[in-house]
Amino acid sequence: MITELVSNSTEDTMEIARSLGKALAPGDVIALTGDLGAGKTCFCKGIGESLRIPAARVVSPTFTIATEYEGVLPLNHIDVYRLDTAMEAVEVGVDEILAATKGICVVEWAEKVEELLPTDSIRVTFVICCDDRRKIVVSTPEQDRFAVFHELTTRFLARG
């Protein structure tokens, strides 16, 4: 199911992410796509909060590709911005992290490693509209567990 949402603030983006967090299950991969500053890391902070990981801990250090945070489930935060090809991502073990995760994987700049992603990944695309407004398009698998996400995000639905 594809849902088009509108966020007007970082807090909106975090709330949308926390709502998705309520539907997640171990092994889920969330593939984030969007320009610099579109809100990918902000979204990851919201996923982290749903796993009781303080948002301040979830950052994107310049030279770190993958970070694991301890939460209710482990959160594997992968940011492949500095890599050029999926092959480079394999060299640093991104495929192994995706295959072995016992928790949730969030991948920033996921389009760069498309061939490594499970086909049932949850897709989230961010478009910068203006100032603090972002269009956030979420594509979830057709599974009942995502109903809670859809219920909790109705107020963010794009109109028209």
Contacts with ligand ATP, residue ranges (CB under 6 A): 7-10, 12-13, 34, 36-42, 60, 81, 108, 132, 134
Within 10 angstroms of residue 73's Cβ, the number of other Cβ atoms is: 21
Angle between helices 40-50 and 10-21 (to 10 degrees): 50
Judged by CB under 5 A, which of 41, 50, 101, 125 binds Mg ion? 41
Which C-beta is closer to Mg ion: that of 3 or that of 41? 41
Window 49-68: contact mask with Mg ion (x via CB under 5 A): -----------x--------
| 77 forms part of the interface with Mg ion (CB under 5 A) | no
| 134 forms part of the interface with Mg ion (CB under 5 A) | no
Measured CA to CA, the distance from residue 121 to residue 139 in angstroms comes to: 9
Which C-beta is closer to Mg ion: that of 41 or that of 76? 41
Measured CA to CA, the distance from residue 100 to residue 138 in angstroms comes to: 24
What, of ligand ATP, Mg ion, none, does residue 50 touch, CB below 5 to 8 Å by kind?
A: none
Rounded to the nearest 5°, which phi and psi values hold at 125? -115, 135
91: helix, coil or strand?
Answer: helix
Closest contact distance (angstroms) between CB of 25 and ligand ATP is 24
Q: Interface residues with Mg ion (CB under 5 A)? A: 40-41, 60, 108
